[in-house]
């Protein structure tokens, strides 16, 4: 166990926050031992994975950080048409996706280059370009932070939704995910319906893409729109895309005929928060330390020298101004600590 560790390099926003205590977990059993010895008792616990979806709002985290760094990828089933992979929580997600694509296994290619570690992927059911983690998720193993007991959560039990799961909802803060099992197909149609994937492939003269070519195209599309967290601090999309009633959408459409939208079940419509924020005039806005990314307004960025509070303040101003213009309150997808 280490004490007084600066977490700047452990969060993709790159904010300073000092953790009173910090333990790196390299094996699920180590975590169970810590719990059984009572070393977490009475302490505030923060499970830290890649730190890509977290905003530190205070300079000191007065508790214990569990940094998940257990590694290993194992094929636990190998059938004619699919394989099941058991992936330890500390594995890097983009690297895992690359390896699967190289092995011609389908099911995670559209989730290419989403920064983060495998253990965090189910927590918010990561999604991009028409694919979500839940589509290939079989089950995960998790450890209860109070009792140290292991439990398996199958897909249904995780209550996956858009950027949500039971681990972000009802069971928030109670379990640590230690490994994830994913079912990947040996052959499957490629999913190229979302946004500009087809246009990108066409522009690059690719008619009938291979799995690898689709993966690489997604990486290129992301690269053009989203900041590289190694260069500019961010947590990817800062807000969720709001889902509104169809009646409200139709009323708005009278004034804003170009509003992009996606139909949802139960007479609801999802509208892109990035579009709303851009229309409210925020795209590219910045001060010395923080701002709104100029290529994708859904991403708030930290240019350096700022504090988490600067983002909190900016996010609130954006929420207020979007609400004033459209009557829609957008909410963050990033976790505040
Ligand atoms: N748009 C604008 N202005 C902007 C940004 C977007 O007008 O500044 C419009 C676009 O033109 C497009 C629509 O909004 O019509 C959607 O934009 P985009 O395809 O970039 O996707 P998004 O809805 O803004 C979501 C995810 C991303 C994911 C992309 C691609 C959420 C909160 N975000 O963004 O996920 O990569 O779709 O699937 O659902 C993340 O969660 O961190 C993340 C990056």
Domain boundary among 50, 68, 86: 68
One domain, residues 140 and 239:
no
Residue 227, domain member (yes or no): no
Query: Domain span at residue 31?
Result: 2-68
Please answer whether residues 139 and 108 qualify as being in contact, where contact means their C-beta atoms are separated by less than 8 angstroms. no
DSSP 240: P
Q: Do residues 304 and 296 lie in contact, with contact meaning Cβ atoms separated by under 8 Å?
A: no
Model confidence band, residue 229 (pLDDT cutoffs 50, 70, 90)? confident
Predicted TM-score (pTM) of this structure = 0.96
> What pLDDT digit, counting tens, does each position of 67-116 carry?
999 999 999 999 999 999 999 999 999 999 999 999 999 999 999 999 99
Catalytic site residue from 30, 44, 157, 163: 163
- Angle at which helix 211-225 crosses helix 93-102, to 10 degrees, equals 150
The radius of gyration computed from the CA coordinates of the chain, to the nearest angstrom, equals 20
- Burial state string for 51-84 with b = 16 or more CB within 10 A and e = fewer than 16: bbbbbbeeeebeebbbbbbbeeeeeeeeeeebbb
pLDDT digits (tens, 9 = 90+) for 112-127: 999 999 999 999 999 9
**56/89 same-domain check:** no
Q: Can you tell me the distance from the alpha carbon of 332 to that of 239, in angstroms, rounded to the nearest whole number? A: 4
**Residues 238-255 pLDDT 10s:** 999 999 999 999 999 999
Same structural domain, 267 and 289: yes
pLDDT of 230? 87
**Which residues line the pocket of ligand 1, CB cutoff 6 A?**
128-129, 194-195, 225-226, 236-237, 240-241, 260, 272, 274-275, 278, 283, 296-298, 333
CATH of the domain at 50: 3.30.43.10
Q: What pLDDT band is residue 214 in, cutting at 50, 70 and 90?
A: very high
Nearest atom in ligand 1 to the alpha carbon of residue 194 is 38
Q: Which region, left, alpha or beta, applies to residue 10 given φ > 0 means left and ψ of -120 to 50 means alpha?
A: alpha
The reply to whether 226 falls in a domain is no
| 158 close to 122: Cβ distance less than 8 angstroms | yes
Amino acid 3: pLDDT: 97
Closest CA to 104 of 165, 46, 190: 190
């Amino acid at each position: 166990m280490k004490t007084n560790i600066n977490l700047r390099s452990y969060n993709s926003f790159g904010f300073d926050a000092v953790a009173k205590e910090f333990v790196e977990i390299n094996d699920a059993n180590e975590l169970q031992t810590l719990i059984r010895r009572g070393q977490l008792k009475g302490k505030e616990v923060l499970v830290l994975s890649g730190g890509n979806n977290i905003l530190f709002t205070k300079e000191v985290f007065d508790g214990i950080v569990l940094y998940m760094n257990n590694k290993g990828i194992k094929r636990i089933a190998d059938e004619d048409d699919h394989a099941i992979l058991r992936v330890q929580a500390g594995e890097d997600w983009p690297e895992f996706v690359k390896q699967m694509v190289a092995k011609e296994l389908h099911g995670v290619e559209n989730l290419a280059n989403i920064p983060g570690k495998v253990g965090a992927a189910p927590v918010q059911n990561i999604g991009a370009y028409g694919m979500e983690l839940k589509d290939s998720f079989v089950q995960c193993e998790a450890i209860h932070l109070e009792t140290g007991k292991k439990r398996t959560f199958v897909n249904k039990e995780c209550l996956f939704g858009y950027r949500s799961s039971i681990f972000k909802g009802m069971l928030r803060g109670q379990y640590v995910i230690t490994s994830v099992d994913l079912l990947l197909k040996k052959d499957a149609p490629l999913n190229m319906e979302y946004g500009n994937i087809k246009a990108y492939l066409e522009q690059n003269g690719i008619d009938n893409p291979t799995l690898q070519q689709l993966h690489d195209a997604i990486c290129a599309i992301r690269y053009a729109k989203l900041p590289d967290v190694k260069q500019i601090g961010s947590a990817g999309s800062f807000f969720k895309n709001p889902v509104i009633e169809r009646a409200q959408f139709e009323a708005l459409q009278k004034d804003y005929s170009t509003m992009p939208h996606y139909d949802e079940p139960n007479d609801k419509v999802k509208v892109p928060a990035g579009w709303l924020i851009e229309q409210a005039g925020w795209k590219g806005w910045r001060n010395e330390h923080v701002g709104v990314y100029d290529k994708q307004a859904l991403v708030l960025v930290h240019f350096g020298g700022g504090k988490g509070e600067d983002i909190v303040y900016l996010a609130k101003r954006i929420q207020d101004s979007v609400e004033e213009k459209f009557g829609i309150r957008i909410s963050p997808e990033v976790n505040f600590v």
